[in-house]
Amino acid sequence: MADGAQIFRTALAKILAGGGDSGEARKAFRLKVDSVAKRDGCAAHEAMRKVRIEHPELYDALQNGSPASINAVEQPAPGLTEARAAFASKAREIAKRDGLPGHVAMSRTRVEHPELFAALR
């Protein structure tokens, strides 16, 4: 365990200093989860919850070190927002007109107004 503790301390120091990568953050978090699970005799998911509470800096490093593709907010393509708004507006109109739930109104909008659906694709 001495090797694991040393790896943990080294990775944590790097992460807190602003260096390291998501792999190091995952490794440090996982090592701490394993040690808490062993210490408290609990399941891994419970140990993860405890580590998140006891060591928020590890959890933050894990979250902030994730690849951009996971954390990034996906921006819609230009023009897609307007197409979505037009389709949703028509679906609400049909739902109100026919007394339908939203998902059924969207299906009906697709059939009655294929041009609005085509703009979404």
Q: What is the pLDDT along the chain (121 residues), one digit of tens a residue?
A: 456 667 666 766 665 555 555 677 788 888 899 999 999 999 988 998 998 899 888 888 777 765 544 445 566 666 777 888 899 999 999 999 999 999 999 999 999 999 999 988 8
Examine the domain organization and report whether 86 and 30 are in the same domain: no
The domain tally of the chain equals 2
Shared-domain flag, residues 59 and 85: no
Q: Residue 100 sits in which domain range?
A: 80-120
Do 17 and 65 have their domain in common? Answer: yes
Encoded tokens for 15 = 């992460």
Report in angstroms the alpha-carbon separations of 101 from 12, 76, 106, 112: 51, 26, 9, 16
Does 47 lie in the same domain as 27?
yes
Asked if residue 45 and residue 90 are part of one domain, the reply reads no
Is the pTM higher than 0.75? Answer: no
